[in-house]
Amino acid sequence: MARILLTGATGLIGGAVLHHALDRGDDTQWVCLVRCGSVEQGRQRVASRLERFTDPFTAQRLARKVEIVPGDFTRADLDMDPRLDDCTHVLHLAADTSWFGDERVYRTNHDGTLALARRARSMPGLVRFLHVGTAMICGSNAPNVVEERAYPAADANHIVAYTISKAATETSLAELFPDLPVVIARPSIVVGHSTLGAAPSSSILWVVRAADRLRMLPCAPESAVDIVPADWVAETLVGLLTKSELAHNLYHVSAGTGGRTRWADVIDAFEAAEPTDGMRAFTQFDLQRDRSTLRKRFAEVFGLDGALKQVMLRATRAYYVFCALDLAFSNQRLLDEGFAPPPSLPSYLPVCLANSAGIVEQFADDMEMFSVAATPAPVDPMPLAATA
Ligand SMILES: NC(=O)c1ccc[n+]([C@@H]2O[C@H](COP(=O)([O-])OP(=O)(O)OC[C@H]3O[C@@H](n4cnc5c(N)ncnc54)[C@H](OP(=O)(O)O)[C@@H]3O)[C@@H](O)[C@H]2O)c1
């Protein structure tokens, strides 16, 4: 019987994992390491995340099925709680996902993961430690089709401090923990839920909607982004965690060349869902040269009154950098393992739009990612490249 230690249960993908896994009702034991003052408080935090996927009654029922261990994964090596000892699998999702936190992000994601890996050494029955990284460790100078094995790479031009921390974590896990059964999964860009739309999270969805409302793209409509829904990511991660044999120890969890989303198809999907009688004309602009054009257009569409809108403009610029990269993350390894490919964003965009709040409200839900701890925000590919 599998006993799975899950970090990040209160986050987007963690909630999707628990919703998917607990609903199936097999005899797997889920042990959630949650930041909380007591077991009951931790359970309520998990239940409140699950409520984004189901009704409150079911969320409470599902949350009762998990074991809560109050704790912080960055201090897991000091946590001698015996309930961790007999875990057979670790699914490590927890991370500081804010883009500009710099030192704090590195401490949490890199140093914290190594602390968890040290704790995993005293789990004698451990068969897999699935660490969740990000496909974006490839940086801004990657080829259009990114292969797993090419990264981490010393010459990657990192756009944000978050990806530096994730790349360094992979390197350190490989160097320092060859004795652990580590497998790395790197999701691409997680947007929405294929059947619940925006209910579980509007993270990043607001950017796609803002681009549509601005009618401005920093790239040709033929270029593409690699987007996947949270439910598919959750199901695939559980599969990677529990499949008895894997051919590799590193996988993109991505749409790949076969499933990447072309902007032209996103525009068509918006037009089908919110018709404008063919008036959806997009301008292609240059992120560096046309900064003031974007600012002006943003002010016209959303207004620039107040701190929230200022941060939203900054976040839009930052996301546009990623949108312009025209990347697909090869998912051949995943497909070869027998996993199903993800549904494409245009196919489930109507579901996301049907239960979306306003774009600015959706951004407010995502704003934590853009908090600045110590350093100013790098919004173009160059500033952090020298430190990568
Ligand atoms: N979402 C994406 O588009 C995407 C794409 C690629 C990769 N990923 C990776 O997938 C993973 C999950 O992402 P997500 O979007 O679900 O993140 P998220 O919604 O931001 O959730 C982050 C989770 O990490 C937990 N956490 C952070 N610091 C912690 C600590 N010190 N101790 C215990 N828990 C801590 C948070 O707990 P609290 O609730 O206590 O803060 C929360 O449960 C991350 O590793 C991320 O890098 C995500």
What's the pLDDT at 380?
38
Ligand 1 atom closest to Cα of 132?
Answer: 45
Asked whether residue 135 is domain-assigned, the answer is: yes
Instruction: Give the number of residues written for the chain.
Output: 388
Give the Cα separation of 114 and 122 in Å (integer).
13
Residues of the chain above pLDDT 70, percent:
95
pLDDT of 388 above 50: no
Going from the C-alpha of 28 to that of each of 19, 87, 126, 231, the distances in angstroms are: 13, 11, 14, 19
Largest Cα span, the chain: 63
Asked whether residue 317 is domain-assigned, the answer is: no
Q: Which of 44, 31, 117, 114 is nearest to 71 (CA)?
A: 31
| For residues 52-78, average pLDDT | 98
Asked whether residue 77 is domain-assigned, the answer is: yes
The answer to whether 34 and 41 have CB atoms below 8 angstroms apart is: no
Find the 276 Cα to ligand 1 centroid distance in Å.
37
Which tokens in the block code for residue 244?
Answer: 């008895």
Asked whether residue 346 is domain-assigned, the answer is: no
Asked whether residue 96 is domain-assigned, the answer is: yes
The DSSP H or E segment spanning 302 is: helix 291-302
Which tokens in the block code for residue 138?
Answer: 């490839």
Asked whether residue 384 is domain-assigned, the answer is: no
Q: DSSP secondary-structure letter at 377?
A: P
Q: 115-119, 161-165, 296-300, 383-387: which range is least confident on average?
A: 383-387
What's the pLDDT at 379?
34
DSSP string, 87-108: -SEEEE------SS-THHHHII
Q: 166-175, 288-297, 323-332, 378-387: which range is least confident on average?
A: 378-387
Q: Kindly indicate the confidence band of residue 234, based on its pLDDT and cuts at 50, 70 and 90.
A: very high
| For residues 125-153, average pLDDT | 98
What amino acid is encoded at 284 in this protein? Q
Give the Cα separation of 31 and 16 in Å (integer).
15
Going from the C-alpha of 378 to that of each of 101, 265, 335, 368, the distances in angstroms are: 11, 30, 35, 16
| For residues 144-172, average pLDDT | 97
165 within ligand 1 shell (Cβ under 6 A): no
Q: Which of 171, 200, 203, 165 is nearest to 184 (CA)?
A: 171
What's the pLDDT at 99?
82
pLDDT in tens, 191-209: 999 999 999 999 999 999 9
Q: Mean pLDDT of all residues in the chain? A: 93
Which of 97, 98, 322, 329 to mutate for ligand 1's pocket (most ligand atoms within 8 Å of CB)?
97
Q: Kindly indicate the confidence band of residue 366, based on its pLDDT and cuts at 50, 70 and 90.
A: confident
What's the pLDDT at 372?
60
- The domain in which residue 55 lies consists of 3-194+226-257
What's the pLDDT at 385?
33
pLDDT in tens, 262-271: 999 999 999 9
Which tokens in the block code for residue 103?
Answer: 């030192």
Asked whether residue 14 is domain-assigned, the answer is: yes
Find the 220 Cα to ligand 1 centroid distance in Å.
32
Give the Cα separation of 195 and 177 in Å (integer).
39
Total structural domains within the chain? 1
Asked whether residue 242 is domain-assigned, the answer is: yes
Torsion of CA 106, 370, 32, 20, to 10 degrees: -130
CA atoms within 13 A on the CB side of 335: 12
What's the pLDDT at 6?
98
DSSP string, 324-360: TT--EE--HHHHHTTPPPPPPHHHHHHHHHHT---HH
pLDDT of 387 above 70: no
What's the pLDDT at 383?
33
pLDDT in tens, 80-138: 999 999 999 999 999 999 987 789 999 999 999 999 999 999 999 999 999 999 999 99
Find the 265 Cα to ligand 1 centroid distance in Å.
29
Find the 125 Cα to ligand 1 centroid distance in Å.
26
pLDDT of 227 above 80: yes
- The CATH number that applies at residue 47 is 3.40.50.720
